[in-house]
Amino acid sequence: MTNLLLAKPLIEDTLPKLKDLCSQMSSPPKMRVILVGENQASVTYVKHKEKQCEKIGALFDLVKLPLDISRDDFLQEIEKLNSDNSIHGGFVQLPLPKHLSDIDTTELIAPEKDVDGFGVESFIGLIKNNYERGFIPCTPKGIMTLFETENIDLTGKKATVIGRSLIVGKPMALLLQNAGATVTMCHSRTRNLKEHTLSADIIISAVGKTKFLNADYFQKDQSQVLIDVGMNRDEENKLCGDIDFESVKDNVKAITPVPGGVGPMTVLSLMENLVLAKQRQEGK
C-alpha cells in the first residue's frame, strides 16, 4: 500500500516540543516579517506563519510596507530588522514588486537572523555540510525531516531533483548529497526527463507546473518515493502539486500530497529555525 507522507502528525508532535523550548527561554523568540504590498498568496502564507508562531509561544511582528515603497525606505526597514536585538529571526516575504526585484535577497538579512535560510552564510553551510552558523532553508529542511521521520534511508539511493532554484532545488540537492544519496539535478534544459525520473529511487519535483508529471514518468512497482514541492492551481482553482497525484498514487512506495505534504513542513522548519536562532543568540 502506498504510504502518504503527511505533515500533520509530525507537526502535532513537534509544535508542543518547540513550545516547551520557548517557555524555558528568558523571553519568547520574536520573528519579524516584511511584506511589501498585498499579494493575496503572500498574505495567506504570512497569516499561516503567524498562527504557527502563536502555537509555539513566539512573538510575530508583521511590517506591512506599501507596494510603491522606495528602494531606500525598503532597505532602511531591513536595517532596522537587522539591528534590533529584540528580533531573533526575520525574512522578507517574496516575491518583491518589480521595482525592487533586482535587490539581492540573499544578502539582506543578518546571518544570525536568517531563519529562511536564503542567505549566503546559510548556503555555505550546505556546501560544507556544517550548519553551525547558517540555517537550513525551510522547504528542503522540511523534506529531510519527513525522510527521517518516515525512516527513508538516503544512503546510496539515486535521487532526482527537478528544479534548480536557490530556495528549493539547489539546497535540496546539496542536502541529499550530504546525506549520502547520488543526485541528478534536472531543469528546463534537461533532455529526456523521463530517463531521470524512471531510474531514481527518490524524485523531488519543484517546478511549479500543474500536473507536470503523470504516471508515465514513474515506475509502477511501488518502488519509488515522490516528493511534490509544487504549489499550483488546477482547472478548478484548487491547490495542487506538479505531480498528477491520482494517476500515480497507487504505483509508488510513498508520496507527499498537495496540500498537506511539503507546504506545512516548510512552516514547521521556519519555527524550528526561529527557536534555533534564539537559542544561539542566548548562547545555548
Binding residues for ligand NAP (CB under 6 A): 139, 162-165, 167-169, 186-190, 193, 206-208, 229-232, 262-263, 266
Q: 10 Å Cβ neighbour count for 201? A: 19
**Between 203 and 231, CB nearer to ligand NAP:** 231
Question: Which residues does 4 contact at the CB level (< 8 Å), separation at least 6?
Answer: 254, 255, 256, 257
Shortest approach of ligand NAP to residue 130 CB, angstroms?
A: 24
CA distances from 22 to 14, 49, 57, 277, 279 (A): 13, 16, 6, 11, 9
Q: Which CB, 71 or 209, lies closer to ligand NAP?
A: 209
The minimum distance between CB 212 and ligand NAP, in angstroms, equals 7
93 is catalytic: yes
Cis peptide before 259, with omega less than 30 degrees from 0?
yes
Least distance to ligand NAP, CB of residue 86, Å: 28
Nearer to ligand NAP, 224 or 266 (CB): 266
Nearer to ligand NAP, 87 or 186 (CB): 186
DSSP letter string over 131-156?
-SSS---HHHHHHHHHHHHTT---TT
Annotation marks residue 49 as catalytic: yes
Nearer to ligand NAP, 111 or 260 (CB): 260
C-alpha distances out from residue 237 to 62, 227, 240, Å: 28, 22, 9
Q: State the minimum distance, in angstroms, from the CB of residue 101 to ligand NAP.
A: 13
Hey, is 17 helix, strand or coil? helix
Identify whether 249 is a catalytic site residue.
Answer: no
Catalytic member of 93, 141, 157, 201:
93
| Residue 230: φ, ψ to 5° | -50, 140
Residue 186 CB, shortest distance to ligand NAP, in Å, is 5
**H helical segments located in 24-136:** 40-56, 71-83, 120-128
Q: Catalytic one among 30, 52, 113, 116?
A: 116
The residue ranges of DSSP E strands in the chain, in sequence order, are 3-4, 30-36, 59-65, 89-92, 158-162, 182-186, 202-205, 225-228, 232-233, 239-240, 254-255
Closer Cβ to ligand NAP, 173 or 229, answer by number: 229
Query: Measured from the CB of residue 248, what is the shortest distance to ligand NAP in angstroms?
Result: 17
| Catalytic positions | 49, 93, 116
